[in-house]
Every structure is written in C-alpha cells, then in structure tokens.
A and B are shown apart, each in its own frame.
Chain A
Amino acid sequence: MSDGNGSRGRPAPRSTKPGAARQATLYRPLAGAGAGNGRAPDELRAAALAVFEAAELPAWRRSGFWTTSLRDLALDQLAPHHPGPDAAVPDVVSDAVGDEPLAGRLVQLAGDVVDVHLDPELAERGVILCSLEEAFERHGDLARRYFMRRLTYERDKFEAAAAAFWTGGAFLYVPPGLTVERPFQILYAIEDGGTAQYAHTLAIGDRGSDFRLREYDLAAPFFGQALHAGHFELYLEAAARCRLLHLQDWSAGDGEVYDVSTHFVRVARDAHCTWIPIHLGGRLTRQHLELSTAEPGADMRHRGIYFTEASEHLDLYTVDLHESGHTTGDTVWKGAATGASRASYEGLIKIDPGAQESHTYLQTHSMMLSPRAKVDAIPSLIVETDSVSASHGGTVGEVDEGQIFYMRTRGLSRQEAVRVIVEGYFEPIVVQLEDPALEALVRERIAAKLAAAAQDIDAYAAAR
C-alpha cells in the first residue's frame, strides 16, 4: 500500500522526439517473453527503466491503413499522482458499478489503491485480493511465480513505463477447486488532468477454480491530458474457468485520456476463459490483447465491442494464440464509429508449430455512422502447422435505409430507428455480460453516443 506522500521518488517520464521508433502492427509476440521468470520486482523495474530511458515515443503503423502516433501527448507534463490510501472512492466508480453483491472489490485512484474489500468468508477459504505491492510483501513466492511471466517491457516506451513505474496494482488469487459465483471487481480511475497512471493487474485462477472478474477503467470529468499505461495478466491453471469483462470508458467530460496497455490471458489444460472487453472511448487507445490457449483442451470465447466518437482514435490488436494442439477458440468483435473518429482493429489468429487439431474462428464487424469516421478491420492468420481449422470473416457496414424505412412505417422516428439498429447490432454481445447494471450502462452509453451524433448520422444516411 502506498505511503501517500505524493513523491514516490520514481522519475517523471521524460519526453523524447515522437514517432521516430515506428512499429508495424504486425505480430510482435508476447509469447515466450517471460520478463518475470522469478526475478524480484525491483530488478524488473530497473531493467524496464533502462528500456524506458533509451526508447523514443513509439508510433504504430499499419502500412496503407493507419498510423497511431502519440505525438499529441505531452508526456513531460504528466506525473503519477498519489492521493493516498484514505482518499475517497470517486463518484465515477460508484455510478458505474451498480450495487450488485460482490465477492470483492479493489479500487485504484491515480497511483494509489484507495479501497479493498474481500468477503471474509472467501479470505478464510484462501482467496487473496489485495494491492500488488502488498502481494509482493505478504505472498511473495506466489506473486513472483506469475508476475510478468508472459508480459514484456521491451517492445515500446509505454510498456517499459508501465513495468518501471507501476504503483498500487491489483492481485487476485482464487485457490484450487473454489467456485465463486459473485464477481470480483478491479477498478482504475483517473480524476485529474496531468495524471500518469501506471497500472498492473495480476490474477491467478488455480486448478479447477471458477470465478468472474471485471476490470473497469474509468475517468471522472476533468480538463487536460492524462495517461493510463497498463498491464493486465491472468493465468488460468488446469480446468479453471473465468468470465472476464473489461470496461474501458475514459470519455467522460473533456479530459483526454491516452491509454496504451497490454492484456494477456493464458488458458491451461482443459481450462476455459470467456473474455469480453468493451471500449466506450478515450482520446487515444492503443491496446494489445492476447489470449493464449496454451495446453490441450484449453478453450476460449472472445467477444468485444468498441464505439468511437468525436476525434477519438482507437487501435486494437488482438491475438488468438494457439500454443498447443486440441485447443479451441471463437472471437467476435463488433464496432461502430461516429464523428471524425478513427477505429482500427486487427485480429490475428496464430497457430504455433505442433498445435495440430486446433479449431478457431474470428469475425470482425464494424459500422460506419459518419462520412468523416474511418473504420478498418483486418483479420489475419498465421498457421504454422497442419490439420487445423482456422478461418476468419469480416464486414464493414452502414446503417441500411431499408431498415430505417421499415421501422418508420411502424411509427418510429428516423433517430429512434437508427438507435434500434445500432443497439440491436451490439445486443448479442451486450447480453453476454450477464450483469444487469453493466448491460444497462453499456446500452445507456451507446444511446448517448448516438444521440450526440444524431445530426451527423441523419445527414450521412440521407445522403446515400
């Protein structure tokens, strides 16, 4: 837990010339990175710091499609804020999460964990939920065994920054054979402009455990820029099952949140993960989401939503990695874009040598709602073995005038009709959240985005 005095002695990030270090958003593997390997966190911090100091500001470029550049981020104006462990949980958190009974909850505001609650009965049975800092003090062996096992700090400056500067952090451990019906919530909130938040979540589902985990990234209304650079890692051991949701909503108020994060999930023998990320906005987001079915019998379902508006820029790169044979996967992403926003999605299926009898499918759908919006969705495939089934498909669509006329003849206005079409498009994924409060929040945010862009959408539909 933080000492809360606001000066942790971590160096402020240093600005360097942007864009010189360009990377194509083709596959740069996390697989086998193994930055942790039992090293003490301080050793890792020092190594990551060296990379950070040497690295230039990155830009990700998909030749002919898009470039994600962080040149508008004034990194040297940002600093990690430390409100202290006694700071109040921000309203934006309580507004978003509803009042569903929980197994446990951890809230990090800027650089400090400000609230941890775990059902005492679960603590009794061996569940651990605490800050990652505390986990290294009290459960050092366990934390070191998994920490950064499959993440790296070497691919770019922000990944290095997250590994070098993280504070607070979240640690969840669910012991073997334990089923927890109520969800665990981990929340990262930013309340003030000028904040650089370096986040790290480490979650472990031991053999045969079964649980639900939700991570929320939320911003209160503020002015100015902020950064969230984060790592998330989840390890599901044999026969474990997890339903994992991510909700990213940085778009409240006029604050400009830049989010550069890496999320990794490893699914072991006969284990299963359903992973549903929901991206509701942020000034600029660049995320690498990788899900590995790593041992025979591992199975995953990956469902994602994004909705960009105004001048937001989203760059999502997902990897469906099969490291072993007899693994199965199924990925569906759906997105929409209004205003002059930019949404770029690349989804890779990668099947490693020897991973025979892997079966997987990836679909990506996107919907353009403005002539100024740009949406690219690229499914791709690297298969390095035989005897697999792997395929992908994608659609880029627009709201159909025939659908609109049909609904208007039933009495709905054009604007209502568009809302119904777009909500209906996302609905098959939204219902899979299996959380009424979260479902309501997502529907409400989608409706608000559509209402905000109504004129634009009308003009666009009418012009075609």
Chain B
Amino acid sequence: MADLEIRNLHVRTEEREILRGVDLSVSKGEIHALMGPNGSGKSTLANTILGHPAYEITAGEIRFRGQDLTEADPEDRAQAGLFLAFQYPAAIPGVSVANFLRMAINTRRDEPIGVREFGAQLRRVTELLRVDRDFTSRHLNDGFSGGEKKRCEILQMAMLAPEVAVLDETDSGLDIDALRTVAEGVNTLHAETGMGALIITHYQRILHHVTPDFVHIMLDGRIVREGAPELVDQLEREGYDWLRDELEVVTGAPEEDDV
C-alpha cells in the first residue's frame, strides 16, 4: 500500500462540488506531477490533503501510512509527515522565520530542539538553498516578494523534512533562479531523505528540473489520465483540448454536472 492513499475523494465547498471521485497514491521516494487547467480542482485537492476546514469531504477517504486522516486536524497531518507548500502563503507579522521554524520543529519532538542543533540545521539548509541567513530573521512572509515567499516555503519543507510534500503551484511566477532553488530543494530532499512529492503545476517548466516518476492529469474534479513523463511533452505540444475530445469519445456526451 502506498504511503498517501486517496480513494474516491469527493469534496465540496458551500457553493459547489469540486472534487468528484479522486483516486491518487503517492509513496515515499516517488515524485508525482499533477497537472490540469485552471479550476480543475488541483488546489482544492492540495488543501484537502492537509485538512483545510473550508472544504467538506462528502465521500471517500485519505489515509497516510495506514492511518485514516480523513477527519484529522491539519496539525496531526503535519506531525504525521505531510507538508503543503502553499500557492499563496500567509504572512505572519512579528514572527521571525527562524522562531517559527523552531516552534514547528518542536511540535514533532518531545524535548525542544537545542540552540546548537537548530542553528546547525538552519545553516545547512540555508546554504543548500543559497538563502541569505538574514532571511531567517525576517518576519514570516511579511513584505516578501513572490519569489521570496516560495523560497521560504521550500526552506520550511527542507527544515521539517516531511515524508510526503504537496507543492501547490510553487513554480508559478518564479524567475529561473528561484525556480532552480525550488527544484534543488525537492531533488535534494528526495535524494537524501527519500521524500515523496506531489508537484501541482500548470506549466511544464519545473518538470525540466525535477523529473517526475508519474504524471496525473486532472479535469473537472477527476484524475482523467495517468502516465509516464512523456505525457508532459504531449500536453506541452497540444494543450488540454485533445484530452477533452478524447474523453467525450470514450464516455459519450459529458455528464450533466460536467457542464
């Protein structure tokens, strides 16, 4: 059984149903890419995996390493080894990146982390990601540029060393340097700790720097196609329309609620 198992997941907000039966498995050591057009439900899936209270699960389940997390609090999912790199990270004024990381690490330990151990770990990670040390004394995401916010997400991922990380459009809007930082962070953790990743993206660009083992395509709240990395090339050449056309051929006319 995979580490992260999502089965027949149906999710709705107050307004409408967004996910309509998602099945997805991600194990440690695997890199998955999830692609799909705007509004197909990718971010909803990411937030639901971490337990966002605004999304209601109406059917299906989320299991992680055998544990049923469908109804679990976000902090329990985090402590179990899941991580979400946000598309739009929240700013927390008055709290330094370093202090926040220390608090987050301490939620995973019985004894608080020692000053030296924490300092050494932070040094290693900031060097790896080529982030200025001053960065960690700034207030968390407060006044950060878009690129800085994304680097900060990857910095947190590297410090917290999750079993499986979900990256929600972390590549969007990044210049090539920041994109490389993000990619290197994922690749290094993958190589060193065997971290699994679900990389949600619109664009093929990041997948030139991180090679996925599996590619999934989401349309209208379902995963409609899964395959090898070559699928990415096809999307790059042809967009999503061929996929819609093909689906209609296979399933006949779109179901009523697909409209």
Contacts and interface: CB of A to CB of B under 8 A. Distances in A.
A56 to B, nearest CB: 44
Interface in A421-447: 421, 423-428
A170 B195 CA distance: 65
Given A405-B52, A408-B74, A408-B78, A420 B89 contact: no
B135 interface: no
B136 interface: no
A289 to B, nearest CB: 24
A389 interface: no
Interface stretch (B6-14, B93-101, B116-124): B93-101
B103 A420 contact: yes
A409 B103 contact: no
B93 A424 contact: yes
B53 interface: yes
20 contacts: A401-B54, A403-B91, A405-B50, A405-B53, A406-B90, A406-B92, A407-B100, A408-B74, A408-B75, A408-B78, A409-B51, A409-B78, A411-B79, A411-B107, A411-B108, A412-B103, A416-B103, A423-B94, A426-B94, A462-B53
A interface, size bucket: 20 to 34
A412 B75 contact: yes
Q: Which 5 A-B pairs have the closest CB atoms?
A: A424-B94, A411-B107, A427-B94, A408-B74, A406-B90
Interface of B: 50-54, 73-75, 77-79, 83-84, 86, 89-95, 100, 103-104, 107-108, 139, 156, 160
A403 B90 contact: yes
B118 to A, nearest CB: 15
Contact of B104 (A405, A411, A414, A423): A411
Given A403-B90, A410-B103, A423-B94, 10 more contacts: A402-B90, A407-B90, A408-B51, A409-B50, A411-B104, A413-B107, A414-B73, A424-B93, A424-B94, A427-B94
Contacts of A386: none
Nearest to B166: A409
Contact of B92 (A401, A421, A426, A428): A421
Contact of B94 (A410, A416, A425): A425
A426 B50 CA distance: 29
A405 to B, nearest CB: 6
Contacts of A141: none
Given A400-B90, A409-B84, A420 B78 contact: no
Nearest to B93: A424
A403 B108 CA distance: 20
B104 A424 contact: no
B74 A420 contact: no
Contact of B75 (A400, A411, A421, A423): A411
Contacts of A462: 53
Query: A405, A409, A425, A427: which has the most chain B beta carbons within 10 Å?
Result: A409
Contacts of B139: 424
B71 to A, nearest CB: 14
The CB with the most chain A CB atoms within 10 A, among B53, B74, B100, is that of: B74
A414 B51 CA distance: 13
Interface in A8-65: none
B94 A409 contact: no
B149 to A, nearest CB: 11
Contacts of A411: 75, 78-79, 104, 107-108, 160
Contacts of A405: 50, 52-53, 74, 90
A36 B91 CA distance: 51
Contacts of B74: 405, 408-409
Contacts of B78: 408-411
Given A416-B103, A420-B100, A420-B103, A408 B92 contact: no
A412 B107 contact: yes
A408 B50 CA distance: 9
**Max chain B Cβ within 10 angstroms of own Cβ: one of A407, A411, A425:** A411
B184 to A, nearest CB: 21
A425 B78 CA distance: 25
B224 to A, nearest CB: 28
Contacts of B156: 410
Contacts of B83: 409
B92 A420 contact: yes
A420 B92 CA distance: 8
A416 B104 CA distance: 10
A386 to B, nearest CB: 35
> Which of B103, B139, B156 has the most chain A CB atoms closer than 10 A to its own CB?
B103
Contacts of B84: 409
Which of B50, B83, B90, B108 has most chain A Cβ within 10 Å? B90
A428 B92 CA distance: 12
Nearest to A421: B92
B100 A410 contact: yes
Given A408-B74, A409-B83, A411-B79, A428 B94 contact: yes
A405 B77 CA distance: 12
Nearest to B84: A409
Contacts of B103: 410, 412, 416, 420
Given A408-B78, A426-B94, A401 B108 contact: no
A410 B92 CA distance: 13
Contacts of B51: 408-409
Nearest to A413: B75
Nearest to A428: B94
Contacts of B54: 401
Contacts of A402: 90
A416 B78 CA distance: 14
A407 B92 contact: yes
A412 B104 contact: yes
B44 to A, nearest CB: 14
Contacts of B160: 410-411
A433 to B, nearest CB: 14
